[in-house]
């Protein structure tokens, strides 16, 4: 019998009792376009990016999936024994990490937007979870967003999948195993944040 562990997961759509559906499958095609270009060469991807006239939110959205594509390319070619980010869900086993994530991504948004995000306790059927430093992925995003340096993103991906970490790592659990939401603990998160400093 698979061992279960308690973990935490943030979602806009999940409800107590729901089984989590792992992965980015609906967006995987975006990553595959990046991967197929990288299979030709890094220069091909540089040329593709240079030809784009994306700005603002459009560019940020492209960067998100471009970085995911580069990470998946590195995983497939150098760390194929590890699970794919594209076919996993993400969890933390420390609620303190969600405070970091929430403050970075949600605390400054409108009250209406903030009420859409919920934090859940989940039962995850995972015996030996793999953990990676989320801040290395964030670093890769910033590198691509600000400099379009593909080699810099590749280096971040290698560190990430090698299990290296930043000075103050935020360890995310990546798993494709079954999981079920057992409890909505959003109130605990908000209390920890001082009701999001309202």
Q: Is the pTM of this model over 0.75?
A: yes
> Cβ atoms within 10 A of the Cβ of 198, count?
9
Q: Are residues 43 and 30 in the same domain?
A: yes
Q: 139 vs 113, which has greater pLDDT? A: 139
- Residue 10: pLDDT band with limits 50, 70, 90: confident
Nearest to 27 by CA among 110, 91, 87, 101: 87
Whether the Cβ atoms of residue 126 and residue 95 lie closer than 8 Å to each other? no
Q: Are residues 34 and 118 in the same domain?
A: no
Q: Are residues 194 and 120 in the same domain?
A: yes
The confidence score (pLDDT) of residue 30 equals 81
The confidence score (pLDDT) of residue 187 equals 83
Q: Are residues 15 and 42 in the same domain?
A: no
Rounded to whole angstroms, the Cα distance separating 94 from 39 reads 37
Q: Are residues 154 and 182 in the same domain?
A: no
Q: Name residues whose C-beta falls within 8 Å of residue 62's C-beta, 6 or more positions apart in sequence.
A: 52, 54
Q: Are residues 122 and 30 in the same domain?
A: no
Q: Are residues 94 and 160 in the same domain?
A: no
Question: How many domains does the chain contain in total?
Answer: 2
Identify the domain containing residue 99 by its residue range: 1-21+88-126+178-198
pLDDT over 60 at 118, yes or no: yes
Q: And the tokens for 58?
A: 């459009």
Q: Are residues 36 and 1 in the same domain?
A: no
Q: Are residues 11 and 30 in the same domain?
A: no
Q: Are residues 33 and 115 in the same domain?
A: no
């Amino acid at each position: 019998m698979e061992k279960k562990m308690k973990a935490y997961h943030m979602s806009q759509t999940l409800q107590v009792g729901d089984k989590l559906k792992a992965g980015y499958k609906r967006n995987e095609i975006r990553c595959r376009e990046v991967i197929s270009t990288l299979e030709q060469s890094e220069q091909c991807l540089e040329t593709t990016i240079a030809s784009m006239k994306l700005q603002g939110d459009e560019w940020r959205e492209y960067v998100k999936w471009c970085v995911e594509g580069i990470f998946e390319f590195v995983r497939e070619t150098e760390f194929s024994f590890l699970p794919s980010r594209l076919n996993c869900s993400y969890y933390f086993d420390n609620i303190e990490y969600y405070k970091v994530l929430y403050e970075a991504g949600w605390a400054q948004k409108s009250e209406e937007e903030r009420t859409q995000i919920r934090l859940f306790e989940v039962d995850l059927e995972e015996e030996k979870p793999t953990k990676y430093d989320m801040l290395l992925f964030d670093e890769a995003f910033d590198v691509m967003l600000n400099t379009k340096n593909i080699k810099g993103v590749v280096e971040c991906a290698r560190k990430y999948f090698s299990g290296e970490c930043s000075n103050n790592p935020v360890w995310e659990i990546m798993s494709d195993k079954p999981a079920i939401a057992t409890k909505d603990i959003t109130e605990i998160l908000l209390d920890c944040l001082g009701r999001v400093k309202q």
